[in-house]
Amino acid sequence: MLDASSLHDAFIVASGGLDEYAIAELVAQHAPIDAYGVGTKVGVSADAPSLDSAYKLVEYCDRPVMKLSPGKATAPGRKHVFRGPDVDIVALRDEEPPEGHEPLLVPVMGKGRRIASPEPLSKASARCSADLARLPASACVLRAPVPQQVRESGFLARLRARLQAELAEPRSGAGRFAS
């Protein structure tokens, strides 16, 4: 796709669950990859539990951006999450909580320093227990859990639609991204 768009200078980085065997296989297949990001498989012993995570860029130079890859699409912009009695809402960071919803994200760091006192472990444990108790049993099963209902705010949905429409417009040149 990059070559077809005349983006021959694009730098491709592969990451996510890579180890020396996966990299050797990609090299043997002549995959057009410029660099490999290896983290979990290097920093964690194979017999220890680990959490594989991914970083998704949502804003660049104060402009909202999004990823559109099938199965990997992201919502643009900095977010906030609000918990309500029936549904959680993902919203843009500066939105006010909808009626009957409470903010789930609270600032704890600012400019590299703690801005709030640490919460007692007993309070964090109680909150975690309460959050788990409000989940339906179907969301707590080990195999084939049913995800909790979450929806986007109207502002976030409109921003996503606007950026998707902008990306659908024919453009030329390198450096094209949703903003």
- Tens of pLDDT, residues 32-89: 999 998 877 666 677 777 776 777 899 999 999 998 888 888 899 999 999 988 889 9
Terminal alpha carbon distance of the chain = 20
- Given CA atoms 24, 4, 68, 77 in this order, what sign does their dihedral have? positive
Secondary structure class of 171 (helix, strand, coil): coil
Would you list the domain boundaries of the chain?
A: 1-55
- Give the pLDDT mean for 13-40: 89
The pTM of this model reads 0.66
Work out the pLDDT band at 177, boundaries 50, 70, 90.
Answer: low
Tell me what the mean pLDDT of segment 21-36 comes to. 93
